[in-house]
Structure 1
């Protein structure tokens, strides 16, 4: 098992064993591998992941939960919900935000369930109608700095459908400038200009 955390577009794998996916990264000259657990080692890995020359990080420890907790202590955790929406024509909804293709998502409000958060954010950012939450897809993690704090965003992704989506309205105040339904033949063009975590979400649906 493993947890993947993106530092910008670079993956850090927290794992209790090597998988085929992780081995691909491990063979890269600029990958960092740590296999002895300690809190200084955790700090060292976080430092290395912020270096431009580093391609990926791999931290192996037999107790994945212990490793996860050690990393989580270094960040402020922010939870969010989002969705990959399919319409009746088997097309998927993407949005262009700041020149990058993305999926609708947003932060969890106090007292809100993550399912409600995901649906609310999808509606707010796209104006879509008749959204049906079909089930969970996966969790993604990425880090960023905000107001001097190191943030770890945990996004809960859901598979959704909208048989009669109505007219779409991009949320301009969130710098969303275009909404587009994309079929599987046009997916590669979108995925070339998106975040690695979004590619992971799409892969979870289409694989």
Structure 2
């Protein structure tokens, strides 16, 4: 199953239908994906599943309908095991940004962490899942696919938020405080912590 978030509301692309669900279910061959996305943006649909026996076919259709932009981001740990968060648009988020021409996605992720937070001395330790979300800019819908990497940093200084990106603050958050930060974050960011054993 692909979990795509449209305006932070779930649109799951799946090859299984569960009867006990409050999701609206649509069959790929009988609907226009773009119309479903528009309705989610208009709050006419709160959560939806798109069904097709082949999940990859649904993703292919979605990518054909909506331009894709690729991004890279980091889930960065320091030596104390704290995680690097940024605060922007009133929510806690992780540093990430768009890929530049000819750039490897790992390089994008490391560059964006450094630009948005001032934190360097980064090493990628693990490739995490991709996240998907649809946003609207200048009246056009886009599908952002973010490739996430777990990183370690030996940076000792004070992180600095990139002001031109609207980052109000940067913080190293202790594992015990992460669940609280995630209450005011995005669904995609929460996914990255699902398999992390966080203290509750």
TM-score when normalising by structure 1: 0.88
| Matched ranges for 1:6-155 at <5 A | 6-18=5-17, 23=18, 27-28=21-22, 31-34=23-26, 36-38=27-29, 40-155=31-146
- Give the gaps of 5 or more residues in structure 1: none
Residue 201 of structure 1 corresponds to which residue in structure 2?
Answer: 192
Question: Given the superposition, is the C-alpha separation of residues 40 and 33 from structure 1 closer, same or farther in structure 2, using an over 3 Å criterion?
Answer: closer
Question: Given the superposition, is the C-alpha separation of residues 165 and 118 from structure 1 closer, same or farther in structure 2, using an over 3 Å criterion?
Answer: farther
Q: 1:158 aligns with which of 149, 158, 178?
A: 149
TM-score when normalising by structure 2: 0.91
- Following superposition, the deviation at residue 105 of structure 1 comes to 0.3
- Give the gaps of 5 or more residues in structure 2: none
Residues of 2 paired with 1:119 and 1:43: CA distance? 33
- Following superposition, the deviation at residue 139 of structure 1 comes to 0.6
Residue 4 of structure 2 corresponds to which residue in structure 1?
Answer: 5
- Following superposition, the deviation at residue 103 of structure 1 comes to 0.5
Residues of 2 paired with 1:82 and 1:204: CA distance? 18
Larger mean Cα displacement after TM superposition, 136-145 or 111-120? 136-145
Total equivalences in the alignment: 198
Classify the secondary structure of the residue corresponding to 1:11: strand
Residues of 2 paired with 1:43 and 1:78: CA distance? 16
